[in-house]
Amino acid sequence: MHLLLILLQVLDSVCDEGLQAVAATCNELRDLRVFPIYAHREDGEVAVSEVGLLAISQACRKLRSILQLWRLCQGTLNN
């Protein structure tokens, strides 16, 4: 089943696994926007990485833009 999804706006809590699931079903996706809620997951990894973004870019051939906003951790600013 393929969904007709053209614009997807998600929080980064969707993680790479969520973006991979979208990539498997939404081949019409044109615009992806990822907004920050988590800077890092509990295991220390970033919530959305190049793994999820690469899955989207390879599967969604009509993709025109990816907007990913980042939130800096307080520790990052102090170092």
Residue 22 is predicted with a pLDDT of 92
Residue 24 is predicted with a pLDDT of 92
Q: What distances in angstroms separate CA 43 from CA 17, 38, 62, one per listed residue?
A: 15, 12, 33
The pLDDT tens digits for 47-71 are 888 999 999 999 999 999 999 887 6
3-state secondary structure of 32: strand
